Amino acid sequence: MSENFDVGSFHAALDSQRLALGLTWKEVAAEAGVSASTLTRMAQGKRPDVDGLAALLRWSGLQAEMFIRDTGAEKKKTAEPLAQITAVLRADKNLSRESTEAIEQILRAAYKRFRVKEP
Protein backbone atom coordinates (compact mmCIF):
# COMPACT_ATOMS: atom_id res chain seq x y z
CA MET A 1 0.00 0.00 0.00
CA SER A 2 1.41 3.38 -0.96
CA GLU A 3 1.40 6.20 1.52
CA ASN A 4 -0.54 9.11 0.08
CA PHE A 5 -0.18 11.60 2.94
CA ASP A 6 3.01 13.68 2.65
CA VAL A 7 4.08 13.89 6.28
CA GLY A 8 7.29 15.74 5.44
CA SER A 9 5.47 18.55 3.66
CA PHE A 10 2.88 18.76 6.41
CA HIS A 11 5.57 18.99 9.08
CA ALA A 12 7.39 21.67 7.06
CA ALA A 13 4.17 23.69 6.78
CA LEU A 14 3.60 23.34 10.52
CA ASP A 15 7.16 24.53 11.09
CA SER A 16 6.53 27.60 8.94
CA GLN A 17 3.37 28.35 10.92
CA ARG A 18 5.27 27.84 14.17
CA LEU A 19 8.06 30.20 13.12
CA ALA A 20 5.60 32.83 11.91
CA LEU A 21 3.93 32.78 15.33
CA GLY A 22 7.24 32.74 17.21
CA LEU A 23 6.44 29.51 19.05
CA THR A 24 8.48 26.56 20.22
CA TRP A 25 7.44 23.04 19.30
CA LYS A 26 6.45 22.51 22.93
CA GLU A 27 4.12 25.52 22.70
CA VAL A 28 2.67 24.20 19.43
CA ALA A 29 1.95 20.87 21.11
CA ALA A 30 0.22 22.60 24.03
CA GLU A 31 -1.85 24.92 21.82
CA ALA A 32 -2.85 22.17 19.40
CA GLY A 33 -3.60 19.67 22.16
CA VAL A 34 -1.16 16.99 20.99
CA SER A 35 1.82 15.43 22.71
CA ALA A 36 5.28 16.76 21.96
CA SER A 37 6.23 13.21 20.97
CA THR A 38 3.66 13.37 18.15
CA LEU A 39 5.56 16.29 16.67
CA THR A 40 8.91 14.55 17.21
CA ARG A 41 7.67 11.43 15.41
CA MET A 42 6.40 13.57 12.53
CA ALA A 43 9.83 15.19 12.25
CA GLN A 44 11.15 11.64 11.77
CA GLY A 45 8.68 11.03 8.92
CA LYS A 46 6.12 9.06 10.91
CA ARG A 47 2.43 9.78 10.42
CA PRO A 48 0.35 11.13 13.30
CA ASP A 49 -2.79 9.34 14.41
CA VAL A 50 -6.06 10.70 13.06
CA ASP A 51 -6.88 12.68 16.21
CA GLY A 52 -3.42 14.26 16.23
CA LEU A 53 -3.72 15.09 12.55
CA ALA A 54 -7.13 16.69 13.09
CA ALA A 55 -5.84 18.73 16.04
CA LEU A 56 -2.82 19.98 14.09
CA LEU A 57 -4.94 20.85 11.06
CA ARG A 58 -7.34 22.78 13.29
CA TRP A 59 -4.49 24.58 15.06
CA SER A 60 -2.67 25.51 11.86
CA GLY A 61 -5.62 26.32 9.62
CA LEU A 62 -4.10 24.07 6.94
CA GLN A 63 -6.22 21.76 4.78
CA ALA A 64 -5.41 18.03 4.67
CA GLU A 65 -5.99 17.96 0.91
CA MET A 66 -2.86 20.07 0.46
CA PHE A 67 -0.75 17.10 1.59
CA ILE A 68 -2.35 14.24 -0.28
CA ARG A 69 -0.05 13.08 -3.05
CA ASP A 70 -1.34 12.71 -6.56
CA THR A 71 0.18 9.46 -7.75
CA GLY A 72 -1.25 9.94 -11.22
CA ALA A 73 -2.45 6.34 -11.20
CA GLU A 74 -5.73 7.21 -9.56
CA LYS A 75 -8.52 9.25 -11.02
CA LYS A 76 -9.34 12.17 -8.74
CA LYS A 77 -12.58 11.35 -7.00
CA THR A 78 -15.38 13.57 -5.88
CA ALA A 79 -17.40 12.56 -2.85
CA GLU A 80 -20.90 11.35 -3.53
CA PRO A 81 -23.57 14.00 -2.86
CA LEU A 82 -25.03 12.08 0.11
CA ALA A 83 -21.56 11.80 1.67
CA GLN A 84 -21.09 15.55 1.32
CA ILE A 85 -24.52 16.27 2.80
CA THR A 86 -23.85 13.90 5.70
CA ALA A 87 -20.59 15.68 6.49
CA VAL A 88 -22.31 19.07 6.48
CA LEU A 89 -25.19 17.86 8.64
CA ARG A 90 -22.86 16.29 11.20
CA ALA A 91 -20.87 19.52 11.41
CA ASP A 92 -24.01 21.57 12.13
CA LYS A 93 -23.92 22.60 15.80
CA ASN A 94 -27.65 23.44 15.68
CA LEU A 95 -28.66 19.78 15.30
CA SER A 96 -28.59 17.03 17.90
CA ARG A 97 -27.14 13.68 16.92
CA GLU A 98 -30.64 12.19 16.85
CA SER A 99 -31.93 14.99 14.63
CA THR A 100 -28.99 14.60 12.27
CA GLU A 101 -29.58 10.86 11.97
CA ALA A 102 -33.30 11.39 11.32
CA ILE A 103 -32.59 13.90 8.55
CA GLU A 104 -30.02 11.52 7.04
CA GLN A 105 -32.60 8.70 6.95
CA ILE A 106 -35.11 10.96 5.21
CA LEU A 107 -32.53 12.13 2.68
CA ARG A 108 -31.33 8.60 1.94
CA ALA A 109 -34.89 7.43 1.32
CA ALA A 110 -35.68 10.42 -0.90
CA TYR A 111 -32.42 10.11 -2.78
CA LYS A 112 -32.99 6.42 -3.42
CA ARG A 113 -36.53 7.13 -4.61
CA PHE A 114 -35.79 10.10 -6.89
CA ARG A 115 -32.27 9.68 -8.23
CA VAL A 116 -31.93 9.10 -11.94
CA LYS A 117 -30.74 5.60 -12.61
CA GLU A 118 -28.08 5.20 -15.27
CA PRO A 119 -29.16 3.05 -18.22
Give the model confidence (pLDDT) of 54-97 as tens digits: 999 999 999 998 898 876 666 667 888 888 899 889 888 999 99
Give domain status of residue 76, yes or no.
no
Can you give the pLDDT at residue 2? 54
Cα–Cα distances in angstroms (integers) from residue 70 to residues 6, 52, 56, 59, in the given order: 10, 23, 22, 25
Give domain status of residue 119, yes or no.
no
pTM of the model: 0.69
Can you give the pLDDT at residue 79? 81
**Closest C-alpha among 54, 103, 57, 64 to residue 82:** 103
Asked if residue 60 and residue 15 are part of one domain, the reply reads: yes
CA atoms of 11 and 47, how far apart (whole Å): 10
C-alpha atoms less than 13 angstroms from C-alpha of 92 in its C-beta half-sphere? 16
Give domain status of residue 73, yes or no.
no
Give domain status of residue 110, yes or no.
yes
Q: Which domain holds residue 56?
A: 7-67
